[in-house]
Amino acid sequence: MNYNFDEIIDRKNTNSIKYDFAVERGMPEDVIPLWVADMDFKTPPAVIEALVKTAQHGIFGYSDNKKEYFEAVCNWYSTRFNWRVQKEWIVKTPGVVFGIAAAVRALTEKGDAVMIQQPVYYPFSELILTNGRQLINNPLVYKEGKYYMDFNDFEEKIKEYKVKLFILCSPHNPVGRVWTKEELTRVGDICLKHNVIVVSDEIHGDFIYKGNEHFVFANLKPEYMNNSIICTAPSKTFNLAGLQVSNIFIPSKELRKKFKEELRRTGYSQVNTMGLVACQAAYEHGTEWLEALKDYLKGNLDFIREFLAERLPQIKLVEPEGTYLVWLDCKGLNLSEAELEHLIISKAKLWLDGGTMFGREGEGFQRINIACPRVILEKAFLQLEKAIKEYVR
């Protein structure tokens, strides 16, 4: 099939957080929203057809899934990542952040140390702190346009603070790293050595650019299987975030038991009916659409790379190895954080994610979502260029 990713879909007045809440969130009404990880593309036709069929049935009672759902999920990970999972490993939740928060509560006590690697997806720090845990940061190292892990600092802080749990972001949001097998193994071995449980957020694992490979953390060594929780969802891959369904893989019986007990304490049971339908349809029939989408995203990335190099050399592209979220190094503009935010929002009329929300290491950076029709991206960068020419001296 041919998929038209250039189609402009009017998302106004659909209760879209991305498009309908600018003013409520302190933004000008006319900003171009390129912030939240929510694509401007329709989900695959097979998913829409499955949802319409379910809607036409007209009854939306309590639902669960049959073996076909598990087969679709398991086949996806077997085919794409060479990871053979068992259906009993899967625990469904309404979202990955929900799952990570549940894991933190289930596997640590109040006051325990939980480690992250900033700049990183900002809900990580929020859920650690709001659940009364101690946030320990092992900052990523930015060197010559690329980010690396600081393994010495990683291990030293584990020992110093008696870290109980590490939240891994793989692929990494927002810096776009796809961790190598060697990097993940080194992290995994350190965590095993010091009895640190790894909760790996792999929600962006389907978006990997040529020359890189995503490795499911638990699949690297048998020992990691019993020391990790792998958080996944079809939401980023197929633009299904509003349907609220995630698949959390927990091979360890002990960890799975504790995790399920925490879910029961929250009063949570069945997930969204439509989420189940959409997830199964996407994993059964969405491969061709996803490959076409990835080709389109590559074109968007090529456009940004060329535009910055030719017309805005003050801004550096942190070359992404994965995800459709691009990390821009704006330090060359020589602006304070407040000045940069004013330029982006008030002058360029763009709604991006300011770097400091991902940790103080994000100062001078901006995250932009490139999963939109190219004409929108072109308009955004032309507005940015005009603003910089007019207001940056």
Sequence-separated (6 or more) residues with CB below 8 Å from residue 135: 113, 114, 116, 125, 128, 129
Strands 163-169 and 197-201, sheet pairing: parallel
Bridge partner list, 170: none
Rounded to 10 deg, the angle between the 253-266 and 96-107 helix axes is 110
Q: For residue 204, which of 156, 172, 168, 167 has the smallest C-alpha distance?
A: 172
Rounded CA gap, 162 and 195, in Å? 9
Q: What is the pLDDT of residue 269?
A: 87
Q: Among residues 240, 260, 285, which one ends one of the domains?
A: 285
Give the C-alpha distances (Å, rounded to integers) separating 280 from 48, 75, 98, 222, 231: 12, 11, 21, 28, 17
**Residue where a domain stops, chosen among 231, 265, 285:** 285
- Examine the domain organization and report whether 205 and 313 are in the same domain: no
Residue 193 is assigned to a structural domain of this protein: yes
For residues 243 and 211, is the Cβ–Cβ distance under 8 A? no
Over residues 80-134, the pLDDT tens digits come to: 999 999 999 999 999 999 999 999 999 999 999 999 999 999 999 999 999 999 9
pLDDT of residue 270: 87
Question: Which CATH number goes with the domain that contains 191?
Answer: 3.40.640.10
**What is the distance, to the nearest Å, from the Cα of residue 163 to the centroid of all Cα atoms in its chain?**
24
Judgement on whether residues 230 and 360 belong to the same structural domain of the protein: no
What integer pLDDT is reported at residue 392 of this predicted model? 82
Distance CA 359, CA 62 (A): 40
| 177 and 264, same domain (yes or no) | yes
Tell whether 280 and 297 lie within a shared domain: no
pLDDT of residue 184: 98
pTM over 0.75: yes
Alpha carbons 132 and 113: distance in angstroms, whole number: 10
Domain membership of residue 96 (yes or no) is yes
Q: Comparing C-alpha atoms, which of 386, 324, 312 is closest to residue 349?
A: 386
Please indicate, yes or no, whether residues 74 and 29 belong to a single structural domain of this protein.
Answer: no
Task: Verify that 235 and 340 share a domain, yes or no.
Answer: no
Give the pair of three-digit tokens for residue 131: 């659940």
Tell whether 393 is covered by a domain.
no
> Can you list the positions of beta strands (E) in the chain?
32-33, 90-93, 113-116, 134-137, 141-143, 146-148, 163-169, 197-201, 228-232, 246-249, 316-318, 325-329, 350-351, 353-354, 365-369
Report the alpha-carbon distance of residue 114 to residue 129 in Å, rounded: 10
Residue 40 maps to which CATH number? 3.90.1150.10
pLDDT at residue number 262: 98
Residue 32 to residue 211: CA distance in whole angstroms: 32
Whether 230 and 313 map to the same domain: the answer is no
Same domain, yes or no: 216 and 341: no
Same domain (yes/no): 234, 305: no
Is the backbone peptide bond immediately before 139 cis, with ω within 30 degrees of 0? no
Express each pLDDT in 3-58 by its tens digit. 999 999 999 999 999 999 999 999 999 999 999 999 999 999 999 999 999 999 99
Q: Are residues 207 and 352 in the same domain?
A: no
Range of the domain at 350: 17-44+287-388
User: What are the residue ranges in the chain where pLDDT is below 70?
Assistant: none
- Establish if 298 belongs to a structural domain: yes
Residue 239 lies in a domain: yes
Backbone angles phi, psi at 350, to 5 degrees: -120, 145
pLDDT, residue 96, reads 98
Q: Answer with the one of 285, 312, 341 that is the final residue of a domain.
A: 285
Distance of CA 359 to the CA centre of its chain: 16
Mark whether 143 and 205 lie in a shared domain: yes
Total tally of structural domains belonging to the chain: 2
Residue with tokens 């076909």: 68
In a domain, 280, yes or no: yes
Decide if 220 is inside a domain: yes
Torsion of the alpha carbons at 292, 294, 298 and 299, rounded to the nearest 10: 30
152 part of a folded domain? yes
| 24/132 same-domain check | no
Dihedral angle of Cα 233, 368, 14, 284, to the nearest 10 degrees: -30
